[in-house]
Amino acid sequence: MEIDNGITIPSVEALARRGVLVEDDGCSFCNEGIDSVSHIFTACPLALGLWEKISFWCCVRNFFVFSFKDLLELHSIGDRRKLEKEVLYGIIITACWILWKARNNLRFNGTNCNVEDIFSEVRATSFLWCKHRRFNGTKGKLAWADWCKFVNM
């Protein structure tokens, strides 16, 4: 799967297109689909559970996406304020990164995880990003309790 600027996420499907043979081409999380960007981020039951938890937490409609590109554009849908769009985009990017790390950790190290583990890491990591990087004039003033309730965004 190629995304912006020619960057390719090295799923088993992408590696096979490059001639790399991988013994097991199934999704490490569910074994119900092929290890592809589309499946891992938008169709795998683990990912669907993660997007459901994030949409509930962020008080937005359930994420219905059919491609990785849809996922990256999700923050811009609706009439959200600029700050909320930026924060939601950061959360989505963080979730993709942590989901990919969890996939790699399971595939290469055999370390299992669940939706709750991944969601907790997404919430904590995106909080730290937002608190210490995003709000230049108000660095450090975002409270964890508010973040957990997704208020003041």
The tens digit of pLDDT for each residue in 123-143 reads 999 999 888 876 655 555 788
| pLDDT at residue 85 greater than cutoff 70 | yes
22-26, 96-100, 141-145, 146-150, range with greatest mean pLDDT: 96-100
Residue 123 CB neighbours (<10 A) = 21
CA angle 37, 102, 15 (to 5 degrees): 35
Q: What is the 3-state secondary structure (H, E, C) of 76-98?
A: HCCCCCHHHHHHHHHHHHHHHHH
Separation in Å, CA 50 to CA 4, 6, 21, 82, 96: 23, 27, 30, 24, 10
How many Cα neighbours within 13 Å face the side chain of 26? 6
- Max Cα-Cα span within the chain: 51
3-state helix, strand, coil in the chain (%, to 5): 60, 5, 35
| pLDDT at residue 105 greater than cutoff 70 | yes
Mean pLDDT of all residues in 45-51: 95
Please give the pLDDT value at position 2: 42
| pLDDT at residue 106 greater than cutoff 90 | yes
Q: CB neighbours of 45 closer than 8 A, spacing ≥ 6?
A: 29, 30, 32
Sign of CA dihedral 125, 56, 93, 137: negative
What pTM value is reported for the model? Answer: 0.86
The tens digit of pLDDT for each residue in 49-79 reads 999 999 999 888 877 788 888 888 888 777 7
Separation in Å, CA 124 to CA 8, 57, 81, 148: 27, 13, 23, 9
Q: Report DSSP state, residue 48.
A: H
